Chain A
Amino acid sequence: EIVLTQSPATLSLSPGERATLSCRASQSVSSYLTWYQQKPGQAPRLLIYDASNRATGIPARFSGSGSGTDFTLTISSLEPEDFAVYYCQQRSNWPWTFGQGTKVEIK
């Protein structure tokens, strides 16, 4: 199965700062990479699909890039509501797999 490795495990930043999250696949997943946000006690929320497409209602400060094995989720200027855990997921090969998550916490 394809292993997704997210880094860093935790990102400590202040509101207004730029967040850069990485997701690396153990083999190419083309552009079949999705990003989700999860806040404590809540279900995940779809952010980005097919590596770079924002889902409906997602603010423009969220952007995704990459293809093949290396992907990045960027939050251009952190808002208080953006502090959460972020997961990447691949749909290139069965079984679908998630990364272990990156926690973005308030510094």
Chain B
Amino acid sequence: EVQLLESGGALVQPGGSLRLSCAASGFTFSSYAMTWVRQAPGKGLEWVSAINNGGGSTYYADSVKGRFTISRDNSKNTLYLQMNSLRAEDTAVYYCAKDAIAVAARFDYWGQGTLVTVSS
């Protein structure tokens, strides 16, 4: 059974940093691209970042480019999102999702999400 378990969400002050993790199991993690999608409270979905299966190619939304870094450790079956210079508008539930094939935005499995709150 495919499982994605996010962790690391917390209350952080504006300008602060946080690292989210997504532990994957039930599939060959190193074979699939992964992505982060966020959802502000009561709002819609926003794609944040994606990474290919090997970690050599990364992609970002304009809203987080230069502040967030996506990475993965295939030996630990874990996806990461390093978030720096956090702003109030980064407050959201952050989901990790598995891509069905390559980097194709076909997110067939999702985690349950982890809440990041940016506030003083």
A residues at B contact (CB < 8 Å) = 1, 32, 34, 36, 38, 43-46, 49-50, 55-56, 85, 87, 89-91, 94-101
Contact = CB atoms under 8 A, between A and B. Distances in A.
Contact of A98 (B46, B100, B112): B46
Contacts of A87: 44-45
B59 A44 contact: no
Interface residues of B, number: 22
Contacts of B95: 43-44
B45 A96 contact: no
B106 A43 contact: no
21 contacts: A34-B105, A34-B106, A36-B45, A36-B107, A38-B45, A43-B97, A43-B110, A44-B45, A44-B107, A45-B110, A55-B100, A56-B108, A91-B105, A95-B62, A96-B47, A96-B61, A96-B105, A97-B47, A98-B44, A98-B45, A101-B45
Interface of B: 37, 44-47, 50, 59-62, 95, 97, 100, 104-108, 110-113
